[in-house]
Amino acid sequence: MSVQERKQRERADRERLIVATARELAEQQGWDAVTTRRLAERIEYSQPVLYSHFRGKREIIGAVALEGATEMAVAVRAATSAANSPRERVTALAHAYLDFAEHNPAVYDALFQLDGGLAYAQEDTPEPLKDAFAALLETLAEVAGDGIHPGLFTEVFWASLHGLATLTRTRRLLPEDAAQRVELLVDRLAAL
């Protein structure tokens, strides 16, 4: 391995460490606790080293969001691949999405609540974000209905899931009704 390859590998390792540490700190204490000073202390590098990888917290949030988008796409595809019917796939998708939001609140915030400097629904949208949407579209396109654009239907279904995830997390909805909400969403919006 050349010196340049070793340096590139070390740089990539440091970047992964910064992102993992930011994510861990955000999951434990919230995004307000994530500062370059605290990250530098935790990873035992100077703040200038952090700034050589990311221009600031916004870019770190964006990196966490991209990582989270990849994980969410994997979770959704894994859940839907085990289902045997369109109804089961849509139900599995909804549960996988809501489970991801519940178990990864800081990542979910990085993806959908915070400014990570990422473009959404545009030509320059990063591939992990496009793929996360594609993971939803793959299942929802088959139930969109006649005359309804599959992408538009996916956006509406996704918005409904996002609302459920957000309202549940902020304790605006009764937790004991969570399963019924998913069934209602599948039965009425997906008309299954």
Over the Cα atoms of the chain, what is R_g?
A: 19
Q: What angle do CA 12, 39, 129 make, to 5 degrees?
A: 55
Give the pLDDT confidence of 11-64 residue by residue, as tens digits.
Answer: 999 999 999 999 999 999 999 999 999 999 999 999 999 999 999 999 999 999
In the prediction, which pLDDT does 188 show?
87
Place of tokens 């209602």: 184
In the prediction, which pLDDT does 1 show?
75
Answer whether 0.85 is exceeded by the pTM.
yes
Q: What is the DSSP letter of 192?
A: -
In the prediction, which pLDDT does 142 show?
93
Is 192's pLDDT higher than 70?
Answer: no
Is 105's pLDDT higher than 90?
Answer: yes
Residues 181, 149 contacting (CB under 8 angstroms): no
Closest C-alpha to 185, from 74, 76, 97? 97
